[in-house]
Amino acid sequence: MTQTRQAQGTAAIDAMFARAKSENRAAFLPYFCIGYPDYDESLRAIETVAELGVDGFEIGMPFSDPIADGPTIQAATQIALENGTTVRLCLDAVRTLRDKGLTQPMLMMGYANPLVAYGTDRFVRDARAAGADGLIVPDLPPEEASMFAQSCAREGMALVFFLAPTSNDERIELAAAKATGFIYVVSLTGITGAREELPAYLTDYIARLRAKTDMPLVLGFGISTPDHARQLRGLTDGFIVASALIRAWQRSFNDMRALASEIFAAIQQ
Amino acid sequence: MTDTYIQTNISDLPDERGYFGEFGGRFVPETIVPALDELQAAYAEAIADPAFHANLSHLQQTYTGRPTPISHARRLSEALGGAQIYLKREDLAHTGAHKINNALGQGLLARRMGKRRIIAETGAGQHGVGAATAMALLGLECHVYMGTVDIRRQQPNVFRMKLLGAEVIPVESGSRTLKDAINEAMRDWVTNVETTFYLLGSALGPHPYPMMVRDFQSVIGVEAREQIQVLTGQLPDVCIACVGGGSNAIGLFHAFRDDAHTELIGVEAGGHGIESKQHAARFADLDISRPGILHGTRSFVMQDDDGQIMETHSVSAGLDYPSVGPEHAHLRQLERAYYTLATDVEALEAFQVLSKLEGIIPALESAHAVAEAIKRAPTMPKDSVLLVNLSGRGDKDLDTVIGILGE
Ligand SMILES: Cc1ncc(COP(=O)(O)O)c(C=O)c1O
């Protein structure tokens, strides 16, 4: 059942946004950490949610000291580490998923140190070869990104940077100039974790970014419910859901699948 | 002594991106990058302002009790039969350790920036106590993150911080020591960055912290360099300091940077010994320690093959940290400073020797520096001068030591 992908790397991510845009909606990128709750289950979750037709995936690689993450992702990635999840295993997971026919873009998401330990050039090459399309490193501001920028450019791998409510115009311009694929827009001043409500300033905040860049904007941190997803219509080009899916999954696999399905349905209405 | 107790511009490092050679930088989430820019600008402005220096200098003299003296450890030197050992007495600074130097400096800066909520992390509790003390003095709100393992082994300091009006927030994640306290403090900062000043306690973390903490601690070396010449008529042949994050060591070393004949020695925690892999000797065990990124800076980091940070061990909470300030990594690479280690056993021995022979109970951290002096002095001529930074007093460690040695 192996399907060939029409585009790869940054081009696959561009195509993902083009398609979502043609359907007049934002792209939905759920996050899953390889190795949580164990290796096989994490792959089953990604395959199951891929079958819903979601647009892409953030593939989490665990780190012992995740300073941008709240308790939910901390706990999940800790379990993944206890299960022996390595960078290499995360790349194996991507290759396995591609072999099984998963066509959506996958972006590798992980803190800098394990990637530095693996070798940054080698990581980018191996990740691209395994079938990953982009890279997201939460403790890597654009100023420090030269260690990845060249190899990502060479391999056609998207290198995503973050913007936050605290980012000033100068930093917006910097991220816009350096990012490929999209800009990860942190919804709030804080760490990851499910939230009750989206911040009230979101419209103004996104408008401030739009005034400075044409890059696709993908919102993350705190997006938790179908209603949140609905509120993003016309606002961002995509959004990421992580902690809320893990929390649903703590109840059951089916609850996690149901939440992903409801969120995806909400943006298609 | 001059009025100016912060030594700045003695070297051109770090560069404007916060690098000491290939070490340092700023590896942090985007959310706090603007706050680091703001801090850097505010700091540059403060140190260009004579009023800031005058303020700090006044507090150092009338509150901290600076300059701290240098004591000649006569009986210890005699017993060892070699170099004359001198102790820079940071244990006599108010709160009992060098950490107050940095806490007051950053506290004044926070007040100047109009930030009223201060957060800090602590390992041994000495930085937490320093921060809580400075904030009590300056009338600012203080919250200190501390791992529950450290809370257990440094009870007196936990009580002290509370008495000083600080909130101590227990950290249950990871190894529940200094590393995890820094993680939590950073998460707090990411969340409350607009209202909050992060008072980092050692010469580590993202730029400008390694530079700023060094500058605030450089008073140790500036004083010591003058005092030792008055006392002995010469510069020290060797300077020794323990290295946790590296603030007391860099504070001592910096004034001697250009004194080519003064050897600079940093002492890391050897824990149960290198072979045991239970230690915090980041420069000694290159099987498990190599350049990497932790807490916003590129330096030596103890990590497994997959880049996961390793748990460290030391009898002294203040040295129990898997990375080290980036400027030390640079000084080591330049071979301007050398790094060695003392094991738990050696530090405990030095702790007792100094107590018995000099009537000074050192902090377990400082006892690591004393242990190296005990090894080195006998190999040096009797007229040579060995200067040890006695970074803190040992009262906080009595429970730990009683637990190990018995009553
Ligand atoms: C007395 C004392 N010395 C040394 C240290 C180690 O820190 P640093 O290497 O930053 O001086 C500590 C840390 O808590 C301390 O309390």
User: Which CATH number do you get for residue A45?
Assistant: 3.20.20.70
- Taking CA atoms, what residue in A is nearest to B186? A67
Rounded to a whole number of angstroms, the distance from the CA of A166 to the nearest CA of chain B is: 6
Closest CA to B271 of B305, B319, B328: B319
- Per-residue pLDDT tens for B219-256? 999 999 999 999 999 999 999 999 999 999 999 999 99
**Is the CB of residue A171 less than 8 Å away from at least one CB of chain B?**
yes
Chain B hits for A189, CB-CB cut-off 8 Å, are 31, 190-194
pLDDT for residue A131: 98
Q: Which two tokens stand for residue B271?
A: 């824990």
Residue B8: pLDDT band (50, 70, 90) is very low
Contacts of A220 (CB under 8 A, 6+ apart): A184, A185, A186, A187, A192, A239, A240, A242
> Closest Cα of chain A to B340: distance in Å?
25
Is B98 within 8 Å of chain A by CB?
A: no
Residue closest via CA to ligand 1's atom 10 equals B247
The answer to whether B209 and B185 have CB atoms below 8 angstroms apart is: no
Tally the domains of chain A: 1
Q: Is the Cβ of B195 closer than 8 Å to some Cβ of chain A?
A: no
Min distance B303 CA to chain A CA atoms (Å): 9
pLDDT band at B7 (very low <50, low <70, confident <90, very high): very low
The answer on pLDDT for A100 being more than 90 is: yes
Instruction: Indicate the average pLDDT of chain A.
Output: 97
Neighbours of A186 (CB within 10 A): 26
Question: What residues in B contact A167, CB-CB < 8 Å?
Answer: 30, 33-34
Instruction: State yes or no: pLDDT of A43 exceeds 50.
Output: yes
pLDDT at B310: 96
Give pLDDT tens digits for B285-295.
Answer: 999 999 999 99
Q: Which residues of A touch B292 (CB under 8 A)?
A: 113, 116-117
Residue A231 belongs to a domain: yes
Q: Which amino acid is at A150?
A: Q
Contacts of B198 in chain A (CB under 8 A): none
Residue type, B349: E
Active-site hit among A14, A55, A69, A133: A69
User: Measured from the CB, is residue B365 less than 6 Å from ligand 1?
Assistant: yes
The pair of three-digit structure tokens given for residue A213, joined into one six-digit string: 């860049």
Best residue for ligand 1 mutational test, from B319, B354, B360, B388 (most atoms within 8 Å of Cβ): B319
Enumerate residues 6+ apart whose C-beta is below 8 A from B258: none
Chain B residues within 8 A of A114 when measuring between CB atoms: 306-308
Q: How far apart are CA B357 and CA A57, in angstroms?
A: 65
Give the residue-averaged pLDDT of A248-266. Answer: 98
How far is the C-alpha of B159 from the C-alpha of B325, rounded, in Å?
A: 29
Helix (H) / strand (E) element for B301: namely strand B297-302
**Residue B2 clears pLDDT 50, i.e. is over it:** no
Q: Determine, for residues B28 and A141 on separate chains, whether the beta-carbon distance falls below 8 Å.
A: yes
Q: In the block, which residue shows the tokens 């072979």? A: B275
Question: Which of B29, B35, B308 is nearest residue A139 as measured by Cβ atoms?
Answer: B29
**Which residues touch A10 (CB under 8 Å, ≥6 apart)?**
A133, A134, A156, A157, A158, A180, A181
Question: How much is the pLDDT for B4?
Answer: 44
CB contact under 8 A, B29 and A118: no
A164 in contact with B, Cβ within 8 Å: yes
The model's pLDDT over B127-144, given as tens digits with 9 standing for 90+, comes to 999 999 999 999 999 999
Q: Which pairing describes strands B84-89 and B70-72: parallel, antiparallel, or unpaired?
A: antiparallel
A121-129 mean pLDDT = 98
CA–CA separation, B200 vs B206, rounded Å?
10
Ligand 1, atom nearest to B127 Cα = 14
A190 is a domain residue: no
Output the residue whose Cα is nearest ligand 1's atom 15.
Answer: B318
Cα dihedral: A242, A118, B21, B293 (round 10) = 30
For A189-208, give one letter per residue: b (16+ CB within 10 A) or e. Answer: bbbbbbbeebbeebeebbee
Q: Is the pLDDT of residue A2 over 60?
A: no
**What torsion do the CA atoms of B366, B369, B373, B374 make, to the nearest 10 degrees?**
70
Cβ neighbours for B47, distance < 8 A, ≥ 6 positions apart: B6, B8, B53, B215
Q: Which of A169, A197, A182, A135 is nearest to A27 (CA)?
A: A182
Output the CA angle A38-A44-A49, nearest 5 degrees. 125
Torsion of CA B144, B145, B149, B153, to 10 degrees: -10
Q: Cα A204 from chain centroid?
A: 23
Q: Is A75 in the B-facing interface, judged by CB distances under 8 Å?
A: no
Q: Is residue A145 part of a domain?
A: yes
Cβ pair B30:A163 closer than 8 A:
yes
CA–CA separation, A54 and B169 (whole Å): 41
Give the B window 277-336 contacts with A, CB below 8 Å: 290-296, 301, 303, 305-309
Expressed as residue numbers, the domain containing A244 is 10-159+224-266
- In angstroms, the Cα distances linking B28 to A157, A182, B175, B180, B294 are 22, 19, 21, 16, 9
Token pair for residue A195? Answer: 């939230």
Is the pLDDT score of B357 beyond 70?
A: yes
- The torsion angle over the Cα atoms of residues A256, A261, A267 and A269, rounded to 10 degrees, is -150
- Is position A150 within any domain? yes
The pLDDT of residue B402 is above 60: yes
- Alpha carbons B23 and B32: distance in angstroms, whole number: 20
- B17 contacts A166? CB cut-off 8 A: no
Query: CB distance from A161 to chain B under 8 Å?
Result: yes
Does A247 reside within a domain? yes
Reported as a pLDDT band with limits 50, 70 and 90, residue B153 is confident
What value does the CA radius of gyration of chain A take, rounded to a whole number of Å? 17
B97 CB within 6 A, ligand 1: yes
Report the residue count for chain A.
269
Residue B285 CA from chain centroid, whole number: 21
Please, are residues A229 and A223 in contact by the beta-carbon 8 Å criterion?
yes
**Could B26 and A116 be called an inter-chain contact, meaning their C-beta atoms sit closer than 8 Å?**
no
Contacts of B246 by beta carbon, 8 Å cutoff, 6+ apart: B202, B203, B204, B266, B324, B325, B327, B328
pLDDT at B191 over 50: yes
**Ligand 1 proximity of B128 Cβ (cutoff 6 Å):** no
Which residues 149-178 of B have a C-beta within 8 angstroms of A? 173-174
Q: Is A77 touching B (CB cutoff 8 A)?
A: no
Domain membership flag for residue A179 = no
In the chain, the amino acid numbered A91 is: L
Q: Is A4 on the interface with B (CB under 8 A)?
A: no
Q: Which among B241, B261, B247, B269 is positioned nearest to B177, based on CA atoms?
A: B269
Find chain A residues with C-beta within 8 A of B17's C-beta.
143
Within a 13 Å sphere around the CA of A214, how many CA atoms are in the beta-carbon half?
1
Compare CB distances from B293 to A116, A118, A190 and report the shortest one's residue.
A116
Which residues in chain A touch residue B35, judged by CB atoms under 8 angstroms apart? 166
Here the tokens at position A4 are 């060939």
User: Measured between beta carbons, which residues in chain A are less than 8 angstroms from residue B25?
Assistant: 144
Residue B59 has pLDDT above 50, yes or no: yes
Alpha-carbon distance of B48 to A88, in angstroms, equals 50
State how far the alpha carbon of A91 is from the alpha carbons of A2, A16, A100, in Å. Answer: 18, 21, 14
Q: Are B278 and B270 within 8 A, CB to CB?
A: no
Does any domain span residue A122?
yes
* Residue A93 in this model has a pLDDT that exceeds 50: yes
Closest ligand 1 atom to residue B123 Cα is 14
- B117 burial (CB, 10 Å; 0-12 / 13-18 / 19+) is middle
Is residue B390 scored above 80 in pLDDT? yes
Nearest to A90, CA basis, from A136, A150, A51: A136
Dist. CA B366 → ligand 1 center (Å): 8
* A34 within some domain: yes
β-partners of residue B341 are: B268
Pairwise CA distance, residues A150 & A171, whole Å: 21
Q: What is the pLDDT of residues A229-247, one digit of tens each?
A: 999 999 999 999 999 999 9
pLDDT of residue A3: 54
Ligand 1 near B247 CB (within 6 A): yes
Identify the pLDDT of residue B122. 96
Confidence class of residue A269 from pLDDT cuts 50, 70 and 90? confident
Distance (Å) from CA A101 to ligand 1 centroid = 55
Task: Answer whether A65 sits within 8 Å of B179, measured CB to CB.
Answer: yes
Can you tell me the mean pLDDT for B16-40?
97
Q: Determine, for residues B293 and A112 on separate chains, whether the beta-carbon distance falls below 8 Å.
A: yes
Q: What is the DSSP string of B271-298?
A: ET-GGGT-SB-TTT-TTTEEEEEETTEE
**Averaged pLDDT score across all residues of chain B:** 95
Catalytic site residue A58?
yes
The DSSP string of B65-115 is -PSPPEEE-HHHHHHHTSSEEEEEEGGGSGGGBTHHHHHHHHHHHHHHTT-
Q: Output the pLDDT for position A6.
A: 85
Q: How far is the CA of B158 from the centre of ligand 1 (A)?
A: 16
Is A143 among the residues known to form the active site? Answer: no
Place of tokens 């050696």: B346
Summarised one tens digit per residue, pLDDT across range A190-212 is 999 999 999 999 999 999 999 99
pLDDT at B10: 43
Residue by residue, DSSP assigns B208-226 as THHHHHHHHHTHHHHHHHH
Residue of B102, B212, B213, B242 best suited for mutating to test ligand 1, as the one with most atoms within 8 Å of CB: B242
Q: Identity (one letter) of the amino acid at A263?
A: I
